[in-house]
């Protein structure tokens, strides 16, 4: 035992020396070369949100350009971002299902199964915080998290970048977007975020009614559903799924506890927002999702446990699941059978158009 430890210590000393040398070399080489600029060089393009949406918030250091959007789009649909080249961002955020997927919990590389439902990416550009628990502060910071996540794409960033560097098309696109051929994580983040900012959806029947002056855009039943949606002691939905006089994101971007995922003890396996804030009352709170295109993004809720819109509306009719931190806005909900039918029909009026050029590149 003693003898073996001694040997290991020696070997360890040797490894230490080696790594000191190596890291010195790395420091030296990176000291010589400035990190590649992550600022797009092209002319910023204006994003034109459809009817019912406000202007898109744009970070000053990453204005979307034609080149960064095109690059982000190629990256979004590229399975090389995953360990075994099988999963692209688009594998869980499918353009055919409005950038969500059809399973309750997303499948990662190999046999990995995630813990949460993949949310739609439409209009995610407006959200102040990304993810169900809000753990990413921006689209830029969000973009590279799934790449390394073991239950998603499961590939070290260095490896992903080295794969991209072997592709002359990427070298050209990074140069056109950022000025040099350098393929860095920061540039990848910026390009993906700029592409995602173009995935906007509005101009639904609801928008044409509410903001377009088309009084016939909603059916009488949908109109009744809208009233239920807005009325505090009926649906009370707009308390969290916000509609303003100028536009509607159908989310307040905040975190609420509906009791979804509460177990038989009234506790939560997935603690949601609490995992970020450590505030006791945040246990079981999740970010209010948008309701746009909701008829096309089943299953529902952070755990994908509700299969149909009818089930969601019935869940609210029952005032959710009791637990110590249930949101007070859940307790004022009162829905008759007719209200519930009307609400479901109203939710179907929120399906809008997708822009023409957000599908796989080269296929528009």
Partner 1 sequence: MSFFTHRGFRGFALSCIASALLVAGCSKKAEQPAATPSQPAVSYYKVDPGTAATLTGTVYYKGKAPARKLIDITEDPACVEAHKGKAYDESLMVGKGGALENAFIYIKTGLEGKNFETPTETVVIDQQGCWFHPHIFGVQTNQPVKIVNSDPVTHNIHPVAAVNREWNHSQGPGDAPLNRKFPNPEVMIPVKCNIHSWMRSYIGVLDHPYFAVSKADGTFSLPNLPPGTYTVAIWQEKLGTQEQQITIAPQQHATVDFTYKGK
Q: Which residues bind partner 1 (CB under 8 A)?
A: 1, 5, 8-9, 12, 15-16, 19-20, 22-23, 259, 262, 264, 266, 305-307, 310-311, 314-315, 317-322, 336-338
Query: Interface with ligand HEC includes 301 (CB under 6 A)?
Result: yes
**Residue 272 — left, alpha, or beta (φ > 0 → left; ψ -120 to 50 → alpha)?**
left
Site residues for ligand HEC, 14-33, by CB under 6 A, read none
Q: Given the complex with ligand HEC, which of 107 and 179 has the nearer CB atom?
A: 107
225 binds, among partner 1, ligand HEC, none (CB under 5 to 8 A by kind): none
Residue 126, CB-side half-sphere exposure with 13 Å CA sphere:
27
Q: Given the complex with partner 1, which of 5 and 275 has the nearer CB atom?
A: 5
The 10 Å CB-count burial string (b at 16+, else e) for 229-263 is beeeebbbbbbbbbbeeebbbbbeeebbbbbbbbe
CB of 298 to partner 1, least distance (A): 13
71 binds, among ligand HEC, partner 1, none (CB under 5 to 8 A by kind): none
Q: Given the complex with ligand HEC, which of 179 and 334 has the nearer CB atom?
A: 334
Q: Given the complex with ligand HEC, which of 248 and 301 has the nearer CB atom?
A: 301
Closest C-alpha among 331, 253, 324 to residue 282: 324
CB pairs under 8 A, 24+ apart, for 8-16?
none
CB of 27 to partner 1, least distance (A): 10
Stretch that binds ligand HEC, among 10-18, 169-177, 215-223, 285-293 (CB under 6 A): 285-293
344 binds, among partner 1, ligand HEC, none (CB under 5 to 8 A by kind): none
162 binds, among ligand HEC, partner 1, none (CB under 5 to 8 A by kind): none
Tokens of 295: 């008829």
Backbone angles phi, psi at 107, to 5 degrees: -95, 130
H/E/C letters for each residue in 237-292? HHHCCCCCCCCCCCCCCCEECCCCCECCCCCECCCECHHHHCCHHHCCEEECCCCC
Which spans in 42-167 are helix H?
Answer: 66-76, 89-92, 139-143, 145-148, 157-165
Q: Given the complex with ligand HEC, which of 53 and 92 has the nearer CB atom?
A: 92
311 binds, among ligand HEC, partner 1, none (CB under 5 to 8 A by kind): partner 1
Q: Given the complex with ligand HEC, which of 153 and 178 has the nearer CB atom?
A: 153
Omega of the bond leading into 75 within 30 degrees of 0 (cis)? no
CA distance 9 to 15: 10
3-state DSSP call for residue 213? coil
Closest C-alpha among 196, 99, 103, 78 to residue 142: 196
Query: Interface with ligand HEC includes 192 (CB under 6 A)?
Result: yes
Question: Residue numbers of the site for ligand HEC (CB under 6 A)?
Answer: 81, 87, 89, 91-93, 106, 108, 114, 116, 118-119, 121, 124, 127, 130-133, 139, 142-143, 146-147, 152-153, 192, 196, 235-237, 239-241, 256, 258, 260, 286, 288-289, 291, 294, 297, 300-302, 312-313, 316, 327, 329-330, 333, 343
């Amino acid at each position: 035992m003693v003898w073996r430890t001694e040997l290991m210590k020696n070997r360890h000393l040797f490894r230490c020396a080696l790594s000191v040398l190596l890291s010195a070399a790395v420091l030296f080489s990176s000291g010589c070369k400035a990190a590649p600029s992550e600022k797009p060089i092209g002319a910023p393009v204006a994003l034109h949100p459809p009817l019912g949406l406000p202007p898109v918030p744009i970070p000053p250091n990453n204005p979307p350009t034609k080149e960064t959007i095109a690059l982000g789009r190629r990256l979004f649909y590229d399975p090389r971002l995953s360990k075994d080249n099988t999963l692209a961002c688009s594998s869980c955020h499918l353009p055919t299902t409005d950038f969500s997927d059809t399973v309750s919990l997303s499948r990662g590389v190999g046999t990995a199964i995630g813990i949460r439902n993949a949310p739609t990416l439409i209009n995610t550009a407006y959200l102040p915080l990304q993810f169900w628990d809000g753990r990413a502060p921006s689209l830029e910071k969000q973009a590279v998290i799934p790449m390394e996540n073991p239950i998603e794409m499961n590939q070290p960033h260095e490896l992903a970048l080295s794969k991209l560097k072997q592709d002359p098309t990427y070298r050209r696109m990074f140069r056109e977007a950022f000025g040099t051929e350098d393929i860095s994580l920061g540039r990848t983040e910026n390009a993906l975020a700029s592409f995602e900012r173009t995935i906007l959806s509005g101009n639904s029947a609801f928008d044409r009614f509410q903001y377009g002056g088309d009084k016939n855009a909603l059916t009488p039943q949908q109109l009744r559903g809208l009233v239920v949606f807005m009325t505090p002691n009926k649906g009370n939905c707009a308390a969290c799924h916000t509609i303003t006089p100028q536009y509607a994101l159908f989310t307040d971007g905040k975190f609420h506890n509906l009791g979804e995922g509460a177990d038989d003890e009234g506790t939560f396996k997935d603690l949601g927002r609490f995992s970020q804030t450590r505030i006791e009352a945040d246990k079981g709170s999740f970010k209010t999702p948008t309701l746009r295109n909701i008829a096309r993004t089943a299953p529902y809720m952070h755990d994908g446990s509700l299969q149909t819109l009818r089930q969601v509306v019935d869940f609210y009719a029952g005032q959710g699941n009791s637990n110590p931190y249930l949101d007070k806005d859940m307790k004022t909900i009162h829905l008759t059978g007719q209200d519930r039918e009307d609400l479901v029909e109203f939710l179907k009026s929120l399906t809008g158009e997708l822009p023409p050029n957000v599908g796989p590149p080269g296929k528009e």
